[in-house]
Structure 1
């Protein structure tokens, strides 16, 4: 196999580049990533007057210098804080919690929780659904089921609290369990009213309410409601709840919320199911590594899962130091990172083959073969 000199030089260069890419493949994968600019998403949320979501989303990114040093992000943060701190805004959110039992702000959530925990909310909702039934209007079976479960939970909560006192604390776990159910009832009512309750959960609640009413026990719903209650204590918990598809996915979402706290809704907004998959390995990957990878989007989470937290953090730090590299360098890095491994090895092989001295080997082979003896006449 023979190659002309220009071809051999080109193949050698390609082989060297391919070898370098193979050697630095992990670093190139990070360099090829682009970080998320949160400003457009925040502006959209502000335009829709979803200030609580906008604040949570922007606050997550403000932990990183590339956003913290952005004047546009700083201006949006100041605007959001001004609106959320105004008396009229806080009063409207308080009213939502008291009269509707729903709110996306802490003050409204607190009001809703208070009314529901003191059975006022449950009786209110039962009365409303009863009135609808009497007047021949549509009855929301899910809200009625939740209210019925809430009444039973309140009675159990009172009984558990009395038992705790009488047994010097031995009945405390039962009291905690009923508190979880009450918290679950609260958030599920809010989810229903805001259209955030997934269909599978509505059916489950209606069926469970029948069991609870018959047995007057909460055993059949305790685990489910405890998972919901864990989401209830997380900002954006209703949005997270709406993304679940069954009890198993609810459990995964609740565990993620327990691990990542206030950042969970934003992380899920960024990574979706990929984030949940990565969150399940939080002990191995590290919560801070997952948060950092999320600033690069879904691709960042995938690269983290592939190369591990130590190298991801190191290469991300290097990438931030050469942030001035420009679009051309980004384009080159992304192109090289996308090249399949088999192609890189093929180019390396061609580079080696091109410089093998085939003619010399041929002559050497011929010299080693003895000449045929010509027989005498």
Structure 2
């Protein structure tokens, strides 16, 4: 009788401890140590080369960003060596010349590789000029038998609908509109990965039926009629999925800048990547672009950590002890009793 009781008790303890092991076998994802990665893999000469390249390309903003990056991560960089060259690019005349040209180019053709250029393109979108321009461009491609950029068409249609909502809502959807316009600009500049384009296309086409729009406008010549057709193809009930993505993009923009956001978005291949990029940008602000330039996607990598490491070790030891006890008790129970 005693042997049976011991066996049952040992087996019960084994079951309980194994249950605890499975309970505590729980991992969480933690961001990688950016500072350790930077100091381990990036040399001072790498930073200096990027500063010099930025100066040569008439980009004092990036040059200062790399100077800031060096300071953040403790590099012994001689800033005085570069400051005079940077300041020469920041005179009122140079700034006005650079920004005027870039803004005009962005407003007219939707291009944007600089802050002013991106601002021009997004400003055009807020006046519906940019979205109507892009819809008409894709419509002309269809009429000419050329390839239609589905994502560009869908995002432009979404932009038309969001502009109307932004006006009616007194600007409450403006962050979503800004994020959507930035995504469209990234599409035009070919900054989005194929996987991210697929994610966005699904979200955007749920919101804007671009196929119905193109069918309804076949043969149409009036730009205003095209815009009205776009409004009809817009389904505001499907806004939730794209609005989350657009708001994350807008959050990155607020933490960095419009032009940096375009560069940052190319590292996103999924909704999870975008979420991690948002967190990275909130932490490092304008330095995010430089970090990604050096570290690539490893900057948004994660490491798996046990949530309850101590409890798991205790449960594992208890399982081992109870297993041994169960085997001993079973052996004793099966052994014939002596007379």
| TM-score class normalised by the smaller sequence | 0.5 to 0.7
Contact 1:143/1:192 (CA < 8 Å) preserved in 2?
A: yes
Contact 2:154/2:208 (CA < 8 Å) preserved in 1?
A: no
Does residue 250 of structure 2 align to residue 255 of structure 1?
A: no
Structure 1 residues 124 and 33: CA distance shift in structure 2, 3 A: closer
Q: 1:98 maps to what in 2? A: 107
Normalised to the residue count of structure 2, the TM-score between the two structures is 0.60
Structure 1 runs, 4 residues or longer, greater than 6 Å off: 31-34, 278-281
Structure-1 separation of matches of 2:249 and 2:178: 8
1:86 Cα deviation after fit:
4.3
User: SS in structure 1 opposite 2:44?
Assistant: coil
1:253 Cα deviation after fit:
0.3
Does residue 300 of structure 2 align to residue 276 of structure 1?
A: yes
Contact 2:192/2:268 (CA < 8 Å) preserved in 1?
A: no
1:59 Cα deviation after fit:
4.0
Rg (Cα) greater in structure: 1
User: SS in structure 2 opposite 1:115?
Assistant: helix
Q: 2:317 maps to what in 1? A: none
Does residue 185 of structure 2 align to residue 190 of structure 1?
A: yes
Q: 1:133 aligns with which of 121, 127, 142?
A: 142
Structure 1 segments unaligned to the other structure (5+ residues): 1-30, 162-174, 282-377
Does residue 222 of structure 2 align to residue 202 of structure 1?
A: no
Contact 1:97/1:109 (CA < 8 Å) preserved in 2?
A: yes
Q: 1:40 maps to what in 2? A: 49
Structure-2 separation of matches of 1:274 and 1:231: 18
Does residue 167 of structure 2 align to residue 158 of structure 1?
A: yes
Structure 1 residues 134 and 105: CA distance shift in structure 2, 3 A: same
Structure-2 separation of matches of 1:34 and 1:205: 33
Structure 1 residues 181 and 34: CA distance shift in structure 2, 3 A: closer
Q: 1:244 maps to what in 2? A: 268
Q: 1:119 maps to what in 2? A: 128
Contact 2:193/2:269 (CA < 8 Å) preserved in 1?
A: yes
- Over the aligned positions, Cα root-mean-square deviation in angstroms equals 3.2
Q: 2:215 maps to what in 1? A: none
1:106 Cα deviation after fit:
3.0
Contact 1:122/1:148 (CA < 8 Å) preserved in 2?
A: yes
Structure 1 residues 140 and 120: CA distance shift in structure 2, 3 A: same
Contact 1:241/1:250 (CA < 8 Å) preserved in 2?
A: yes
Structure 2 segments unaligned to the other structure (5+ residues): 1-38, 210-234, 306-339
User: SS in structure 1 opposite 2:208?
Assistant: helix
Bigger RCO (CA 8 Å, 6+ sep): 2
Contact 2:132/2:156 (CA < 8 Å) preserved in 1?
A: yes
Structure 1 residues 72 and 279: CA distance shift in structure 2, 3 A: farther
User: SS in structure 2 opposite 1:210?
Assistant: helix
Contact 2:151/2:204 (CA < 8 Å) preserved in 1?
A: no
Deviations 1:158-214 (Å, cap 9, x if unpaired)?
Answer: 3322xxxxxxxxxxxxx53x2232112211122122221111222222222321136
Q: How many residues align?
A: 237
Q: 2:35 maps to what in 1? A: none
Contact 1:55/1:80 (CA < 8 Å) preserved in 2?
A: no
* Correspondence 1:65-76 to 2 at 5 A: 66-67=76-77, 69-76=78-85
Structure 1 residues 216 and 124: CA distance shift in structure 2, 3 A: same
Deviations 1:270-322 (Å, cap 9, x if unpaired)?
Answer: 333443358999xxxxxxxxxxxxxxxxxxxxxxxxxxxxxxxxxxxxxxxxx
Q: 1:147 aligns with which of 147, 156, 166?
A: 156
1:129 Cα deviation after fit:
1.0
Structure-2 separation of matches of 1:280 and 1:258: 22
Q: 1:221 aligns with which of 239, 242, 259?
A: 242
Q: 1:232 maps to what in 2? A: 253
Structure-2 separation of matches of 1:204 and 1:216: 18
Relative to structure 2, which stretch is displaced further, 128-137 or 84-93? 84-93
1:80 Cα deviation after fit:
4.1
Relative to structure 2, which stretch is displaced further, 47-56 or 216-225? 47-56
